[in-house]
Amino acid sequence: MSQAAEAAAWLLRAHENREQFRALPADLAPGSMAEAYAIQEAFVALRAKRLGAAVGYKIALSSAAMRRFVGVDSPQAGVMFESTLRRSPARIRAADYVNLIVEFEIAVEMAEDLPVADAPFSRERVARAVGAVMPALEIADDRGADYRLLAQHPLDLIADNTWNEGAVLGRPAANWRELDLGKIRAVASINGSKVGEGIGAEAMGHPLDAVAWIADHLSTRGHGLLRKDVVITGSLVTSKRVKAGDLVRFELENAGGVELRIE
């Protein structure tokens, strides 16, 4: 068994046993970005047996402040599975996660492929391939991670598929091409109380630049961003821990909202 396969099996056991997030053992830990993504691909393949095919991607550490905090100089990509993508209004059980967190994002659904051969991609090239834009809530599980220790092993977040457990998608905004996605305002609330606000530029300067980054990243792994793939482009508001009984909402100015009930 390869190191990546062994590390992926270790991660799967940790998830199944609901263990606190911790660094991979030294003999399995990735020593480079390439090794970390190789572990992620093996881990994703294992989880896909239960959660379904990969149907989208997420971006972790999309802000410069978060990258400095973790000690890396680039964002990190993760994969989303078919069974974990939900439509608003959605319900999930807190008990199904170790330590549930949500993030507040702009999602993009592709109408055309962005093939490997066309990389690198510009914002304009991405815009031509986008079919829909919508508000989204990322569902994540940090498994009680000690964030102070992340900088000591930042590549482990990649290996663990950047903690993604899916997303809730709002209704596509029919008028998205008329919106300035970089300046669009967003408001997050929990149980009717505002918990944060932001603008589209929080997603790597512009949400479509974030999609271009994902497409370029995939091209380095020999994959294209495909028609019907969904990309959540990075949180516009700091992540929030949620618990049973909470009602989470996220509104995009002139582009609708998305709702998640935690049971």
* CA distance to 51, 90, 192, 256, per residue, from 260 (Å): 20, 5, 12, 14
User: Which amino acid is located at 103 in the chain?
Assistant: E
Question: pLDDT tens for residues 140-150?
Answer: 999 999 988 98
pLDDT value at residue 1: 76
Taking CA 235 as the corner, what is the angle to CA 122 and CA 220, rounded to the nearest 5 degrees?
40
pLDDT mean over 88-100: 98
Instruction: Assign 161 to helix, strand or coil.
Output: helix
Decide: helix, strand or coil at residue 46: helix
Q: How confident is the model at residue 62 (pLDDT cuts 50, 70, 90)?
A: confident
Please provide the DSSP assignment of 227-257 as one string.
Answer: TT-EEE---SEEEEE--TT-EEEEEETTTEE
Instruction: Spell out the domains of the chain, with CATH numbers in brackets.
Output: 55-262 (3.90.850.10)
Predicted confidence at residue 70, as pLDDT, reads 76
Residues 168, 87: contact at Cβ < 8 Å?
yes
Strands 76-81 and 256-262: unpaired
Query: Mean pLDDT across the stretch 250-254?
Result: 95
Mean pLDDT taken over the chain:
95
Mean pLDDT is lowest, of 18-32, 65-79, 111-125, for 65-79
pLDDT at 130: 96
DSSP-assigned letter for residue 71: T
Mean pLDDT in residue range 154-158: 94
The strand pair at 90-92 and 164-169 is best described as unpaired
Q: In the structure encoding, which two tokens stand for residue 200, read together?
A: 């589209």
Query: Which residues, other chains included, contact 18 with Cβ-Cβ below 8 Å and sequence gap of 6+?
Result: 98, 143
- At 145, which helix (H) or strand (E)? none
For the residues 148-171, what does the mean pLDDT come to? Answer: 95
Q: pLDDT band for 65, please (50, 70, 90 cuts).
A: low
- Is 207 within 8 Å of 58 (Cβ atoms)? no
Q: What is the pLDDT of residues 14-48, one digit of tens each?
A: 999 999 999 999 999 999 999 999 999 999 999 99
- Strand pairing class (230-232; 193-199): unpaired
Mean pLDDT, residues 72-88 taken together? 94
pLDDT exceeds 80 at position 63: no
Q: What is the pLDDT of residues 170-207, one digit of tens each?
A: 999 978 999 999 999 999 999 999 999 999 999 999 99
